[in-house]
Each structure stands twice: as structure tokens, then as C-alpha cells.
Amino acid sequence: MRRYRIAIIVGISLVLLTTVLIVGRQWFNRTLLHWYFSSTYEPQPLTTATLVPAPDSWMLVDTPWIAADLPVCQSTSLQMMAAHHGNLQPRPAIDWLMAFTYGFSALPDSTEVTPFGQDPEIGLQVAAPYLGLQRRYYTTDDPNLWLTAARSFIAQGHPVRVALDMGQLYGANELIPHSDVLAGYDQQGFFVYETVCVAPANCQPGHHRAGETGLYVTNEQVLAAMEAHAAAFGYPWRYNLTIFLPTTPSTDIEPVWQQIARVTLGNQQYGPPTGLAALEQLIVALERG
């Protein structure tokens, strides 16, 4: 009987210890991710103090709608932002500045590899100054504040870039990390300048004239798409938006070359593995079957 009790106690202790280790590891990983996003994305909290009242509806008339037919949403977003400020550049040049189509990266909690080695937010940070732009990345957990802020910035003449789940936005049953540009709004929703016109987005790729209405999505669709994206990547916030302000262009391209070297060689210190580390992880997974 005594041995039986000891066995039960040992068994329960092992279960508890295993649970603590698993929970502790999850907590550590989540804390590390939160630190990474908070320290590298340079987020600024949205506050009503920085906003101005906006009319019930507004549509930008000086932002061209540029849509690609392949998954280059991040660089196409920045291409539109630069064009809005009078600096239309070919997208491959922006891909290079962002190191967007260089290297490899693994998807979160997966061994699948994408042909994009750079964290797009970091790519936007590095590339924007060479286009004469200053990136401002805002975050909040308050959906009403986000709606107020997005409308306010658009009414002030700023197209708003958002990171979201394209699948959730258009009703597809899959996660599609994505970047879009909001060029107008009314009280029920937003006019999206879709960056990639392939399924599930119902639009035609190409350069469309400024002032086009784009695709219309409801407030609820945009908010839900941002929530899904934030949950998938483990952001310490639910909603995001980015605006770009004009600034003196940077001419020192050394950081661009350094960035390309980093994403090609890769690492797996923080977040999903990139570069060679991502390929090595994929090879191990394939060998295991």
C-alpha cells in the first residue's frame, strides 16, 4: 500500500512538473516574442490626443491604386505610399530596399518556408528613408479608438497601411498574412486599395488611377482580420496602422546591404527561423517524414 501511494505521488509530481515546464516554456516564448515586437517594430500607442475630428466619409484622390498579381503585398504597400508622396518607383527596387524577396523564413509554429527572409515591418523601417518617408507604426487594443484613428489619418490626407489576415478579410478559410492600404472610408467600412489581386481578393492587378474606390470592406471585417493576424503572430496588441510622412531621403545604402546579408544567412534567435536556419529546419522535417 505504501509503495502504491509513493508511486501515485511520484506520478502526480511528474505530471505537475511536466505541466509547469510546458507552461513555463510557452510563457517564456510569448514573453520573448512580445519583447521582440515591442523593441524592433517601434510601436507608438494610439491616443485621442494626437487625432483630429474626421468627417463621416472621405476618399483620397491623390493616391494611385497599385495591385500586383503575385504575393508582394508589403513592397506594393510601400510603393503606393511613396507614389502618394510623388515618388513612384518600380516595385523590384523597393523589394531590394526592403530585402523583401530575398532569403527565406519559416511560418509561425510551422516548418513551411516562404521565399521572404525579412520581417516586413523591419523591411519597411529600413526602406522608407530611402524613399523620403518616415514610418510611424501605431497600435492599440481598443477597436473604437482604431476606427477613429484610421478615419482621422485618412481625412488628414494619409493613406493608412494595415497588417492583417487576408483570408479573414475576404472570408477564406486559411491564414494569409498580408498588408493592405486603406484609401477611404464611410461610417460602415473602408475602401481598400488591395495590394495583391489574386484569390480571395476580387480585383484586377495593375496600376489604377488615383481616386478609384477600390474594394469595400466593413469595419467588422477589417477589425477581425487584424485580430486574426495579431493572434497568429503573437503580437502584444490587437490592432495596428502605419502612416508615412515625408522626410529628407537617406543616401547611405550600407544598411540595405547589411539587411540583405542578414536575411540570406538568417538566424533563429527570436521568432520564426530565417535564411539558412529556415532551410535547415525544413530539411530536418523532410528527413523525419
Residues 51-71: pLDDT tens digits?
999 999 999 999 999 999 999
The total of other beta-carbon atoms located within 10 Å of residue 148's CB is 17
Per-residue pLDDT of 194-228, as tens digits, reads: 999 999 999 999 999 999 999 999 999 999 999 99
Q: Which pLDDT belongs to residue 5?
A: 54
pLDDT band for position 88 (cuts 50, 70, 90): very high
Instruction: Give the mean model confidence (pLDDT) for residues 78-91.
Output: 97
The bridge status of strand 189-193 relative to strand 177-185 is antiparallel
More confident residue, 243 or 262: 243
- In angstroms, the Cα distances linking 148 to 21, 56, 59, 190, 216 are 42, 11, 15, 12, 18
Q: Which pLDDT belongs to residue 118?
A: 73
Exposed/middle/buried for residue 19 (C-beta within 10 Å: 0-12, 13-18, 19+): exposed
Q: Rounded to whole angstroms, how far apart are CA atoms 121 and 234?
A: 14
Angle, CA of 82, 146 and 69, to the nearest 5°: 40
Percent of the chain whose pLDDT exceeds 90? 65
Q: Does the structure show a pLDDT above 70 at 193?
A: yes
Q: Rounded to whole angstroms, how far apart are CA atoms 73 and 164?
A: 11
pTM score of the predicted model: 0.83
Question: Computed from CA positions of residues 234, 238, 239, 244, in that sequence, does the dihedral angle turn out positive or negative?
Answer: negative
Q: How many CA atoms lie within 13 A of 232 on its CB side?
A: 20
Backbone phi and psi for residue 48, each to the nearest 5 degrees, phi listed first: -65, -20
In contact, 73 and 178? CB cutoff 8 Å: yes
Q: Which residue has the cell 547611405?
A: 252
Q: Checking phi first, is residue 140 left (phi over 0); if not, alpha (psi -120 to 50) or beta?
A: beta
Maximum average pLDDT range among 30-34, 82-86, 231-235: 82-86
Q: Is the bond leading into 246 cis (omega within 30 degrees of zero)?
A: no
In contact, 137 and 42? CB cutoff 8 Å: yes
- Going by C-alpha positions, the residue among 125, 122, 102 that lies closest to residue 114 is 102
Q: Rounded to whole angstroms, how far apart are CA atoms 63 and 139?
A: 23
The rounded mean pLDDT for the chain is 87
